[in-house]
Amino acid sequence: MKTAIVTGANSGIGKETANSLAMNGYRIVMICRNQEKAEAARQDIIDDTGNDQIDILICDLSSMKQVKATAEKIRDSYTEIDRLVNNAGILPDGNRRETDEGLELTFAVNHMAYFLLTKELMPILEKTPSSRIINVASDAHRYGTFNPENLQLSRGYSTSKAYGNSKLFNIMFTWQLAKEIEEKDITAFCLHPGVVNTNFAADSDSWFAKLFNLGRFFMRSPEKGAETTVYLCLEKEIEHLSGQYFRDKSPVKPSAPAQSDDDCRHLWELSEELVNDVLN
């Protein structure tokens, strides 16, 4: 039985992704923040698919220490990871907030958790034939910028900037990751799911969130939003497209910073430095 790790799997795109993969016979490892919500989602998936091979790991993805500990649990419990889906993301309230580890909150959850979880699970991914890493990004990255001197928006912070930057970093990370693993039997992809009607931004009072919430009537369903993620998990013979950014199941060009080899490598190096600073 193939195994898929899905972060943020208790609702929205993550839950639909987990459901679709369970329907296709995957063992699912749900990484969620809330035990009660995770248990309810797990039961929904079992009821819908008849697949009871659904495990839960509780982790606050804003904490790099918890991400590392969760990765250790996975390495101890599973011998193969066929698909790693970095899906969980947040849009916090309007004021800039830092985690207990000193990272800006949006940056921590939306980028650093992707980066660290992937790095920590690499030993199992390397041992699994034709494994794939799928990073859920967004076309909001086109409003993002890469400024190594202001990576976490200690100056000029806004919710929309923080979110746009984090989604840009998802794509830059994928681009560099594909280079790091190009000699291995692993591929990496990222995607825009569309503007999806989930509980994303429901608890935020920023103007960006309010604008997002006003448009819910016109948004895609979570099922539709998960289609490209599921495509990248299941579609055969797309290995040659590793590192690419997808929209509606097709590769598209991201913004210029996401195509800069130098910038993508620099972000990787800065992320490694931050991980070392936090964990050591």
The CATH number of residue 160's host domain is 3.40.50.720
Which residue(s) pair with 192 in the sheet? Answer: 247
Mean pLDDT of the chain: 92
C-beta of residue 136 within 8 angstroms of C-beta of residue 86:
yes
Domain count for the chain, please give it.
Answer: 1
> Among this protein's residues, is 163 annotated catalytic?
yes
pLDDT at 212 over 50: no
pLDDT tens digits along 101-121: 999 999 999 999 999 999 999
pLDDT value of position 224: 82
pLDDT at 201 over 50: no
Tell me the C-alpha distance between 265 and 58, whole Å: 31
Catalytic residue among 26, 114, 163, 245: 163
Residue 185 confidence class, pLDDT cut points 50, 70, 90: very high
Burial (Cβ within 10 Å: 0-12, 13-18, ≥19) of residue 270: middle
HSE (side-chain half, CA atoms, 13 Å) at 178 = 22
Range of the domain at 48: 3-279
Phi, psi of 247 (to 5 degrees): -140, 130
C-beta of residue 45 within 8 angstroms of C-beta of residue 51:
yes
Burial (Cβ within 10 Å: 0-12, 13-18, ≥19) of residue 39: middle
